[in-house]
Amino acid sequence: MPEVLKLKLDRPEKLYDFILKLAESALKSKVVDSAVIFQKQKSHFEVKPILIEDEKKLSEFNVSAFNCYYPSLYGNLAKYLYLTPIKNSKNFLMFAKPCDIKAIDELKKKGYSFNGYIVGLSCFGTINVKTAKKLEEIIGQKPIKSERIDEEFLHLTLDDGQSKNFSIKELEEKGVLVRSNCKHCFDKISSSGSDLFIYQLPNSQFFIEVLNPSIKKILEDTGYSFEPNGNAVNFINEFKNKIQRQAENILSEIEEQFLKLSDSEKLKYWWDGKLFSKCTKCLACVRACPLCICKLCILKKEGKALDKSQVHLIRLLHIAETCTNCGACDVVCPPRLPISSLFQIAQRNLKKSG
Ligand code: SF4
Ligand code: SF4
Ligand code: SF4
C-alpha cells in the first residue's frame, strides 16, 4: 500500500501555493529539468500549458484556474504531451487531473513514452470557460486571484483579499455550468497513473499519496509539514465509493431516458431527431479527442464524405472501450452533442457484458 501523508495547510486556499512550491522544489533540486505550468490567456479563466525550466518564473503562473475551468487550448493534457516537443524533454513534472492522467496512460498503451513525473490533483468538476465568464458579472469584474472547487462549492479569493463562496447549484442556476461529463466522472479522486496524488477531501482535509517514492524528496524540500495518517486510506476509500455511486446514478439516469425508448424511437433520437441530426460532420470531436491518434484515420481522411451514422459508429467502435470521459469532444462540438455520455454508457455496457 503506498504511503499516505496528511498535508497541513493554514487555510484551504493555500493549496495552490503548495502546488507551486512543489514545482519550485522539484526544479531547484534538479529532480526534474522542467515543469508544465499554466499561463493565463486573454481572460482569467483561460489557461494554456507551457513548459518552464526556471523556478524563479513560477510566481507568474496560475495553477488554480487550470483545476477549475476546462482549458480551451489543447483541452486534455495528454493531447498537449502528444502534440508538443515536451515529449522530448529529459524529465519534466506535470500537474494533471485524473482524466488527463487516464488519457496519458492510454497513450502509453499505444506505445508513446514520456519522460516525466505526474502529480495528480483531485478534481470535482470543471466549468466550461464560456460560461465561467459569467462569473465576472456575478462578482462585478473584480479580479480573481485564485479559486478552488470542492464537492459543493466554488471558493474564490479576489485580488483585494476578499473570499467569496458560491454553491455550484446556485451558480448553475445563474448559467455558470459544470461540464456534463464531470457530473458522471468516476475518477475525481483516482490516483491511478500518478507519481504523487493530492487528495482534497471533505472538511478541507488534504492528503498526499506517494506512489513513486523516488520523488518523495520534492515533498520534503517544500518546507511544508506532513504527518503519516493511519486512517487516511479508509477515509479516501469511503469517499471514493461515494463519488462512484453518485457517478453511477447520474449515468444510469441518462441511460434510463434512452432505454425507455422503443428501438425505432432510439434510432430517431440518435440519428433523425434531436441528437445526431444536428451533427455537421465538422470532425472537431475527432481532432480534440486525446485517444484519436491513429496515423491512418479514415475519419480524418474521408470523414466528410461518410454518412453521419458511419462517422459516429466508427468512432464509437474505436474509442468507446477506452474513452476517458475527459469531455474534450463535448466542449468543441458546435451543436453541443453529449458525446462523452454516449461513449460512457457504451463503455459501461461493454464492461457489463464482459
Ligand atoms: S472528467 Fe473528472 S477528472 Fe476530468 S475534469 Fe471532469 S471531474 Fe475532473
Ligand atoms: S471520446 Fe470524448 S470524452 Fe472520450 S476520450 Fe475522446 S474526447 Fe474524451
Ligand atoms: S464535433 Fe459535433 S458536430 Fe462536429 S463531427 Fe463531432 S459530433 Fe458532429
Q: Read out DSSP for 163-228? A: EEEEEHHHHHHTT--B-HHHHT-S-TT--TT-SEEEEEETTTEEEEEES-GGGHHHHHTT---EEE
Q: What is the pTM of this model?
A: 0.92
Best mutation site among 187, 198, 331 for ligand 1, i.e. most ligand atoms within 8 A of its Cβ?
187
So where are the chain's domains? 3-238, 261-352
Q: Of the bound ligands, which one is closest to the alpha carbon of residue 79?
A: 2
Position 244, amino acid: Q
Q: Which residues are near ligand 3 (CB < 6 Å)?
A: 279-285, 332-335, 337, 339
Residue whose C-alpha cell is 469532444: 329
Per-residue burial over 262-298, b = 16 or more CB atoms within 10 Å of its CB, e = otherwise: eeeeeeebbeeeebbeebebebebbebbbbbeeeebe
Alpha-carbon distance 38 to 66, whole Å?
7
Residue 274: HSE in the Cβ half-sphere, 13 Å Cα cutoff:
3
296 in helix, strand or coil? coil
Ligand 2 atom nearest 75 alpha carbon: 7
Alpha-carbon distance 350 to 65, whole Å?
35
118 in helix, strand or coil? strand
Phi, psi at 128, each rounded to 5°: -60, 130
Alpha-carbon distance 93 to 64, whole Å?
17
Best mutation site among 340, 342, 350 for ligand 2, i.e. most ligand atoms within 8 A of its Cβ?
340
Q: Render each residue's pLDDT in the chain as its tens digit; 354 residues.
A: 789 999 999 888 889 999 999 999 999 999 999 999 998 888 888 888 989 999 998 888 888 988 898 866 667 899 888 888 776 677 999 999 999 999 999 999 988 888 899 999 999 999 988 898 899 888 887 889 889 999 899 999 998 888 999 999 999 999 999 998 999 999 999 999 999 999 999 888 999 999 999 999 999 899 999 988 878 899 999 999 999 999 999 989 888 877 777 766 766 666 655 567 788 889 999 989 999 888 888 887 887 888 887 888 889 889 999 999 999 999 899 988 888 988 998 898 888 877
What grid cell was written down for 114?
A: 514520456
**Contact between residue 200 and residue 6 where contact means Cβ atoms under 8 Å apart:** no
Position 227, amino acid: E
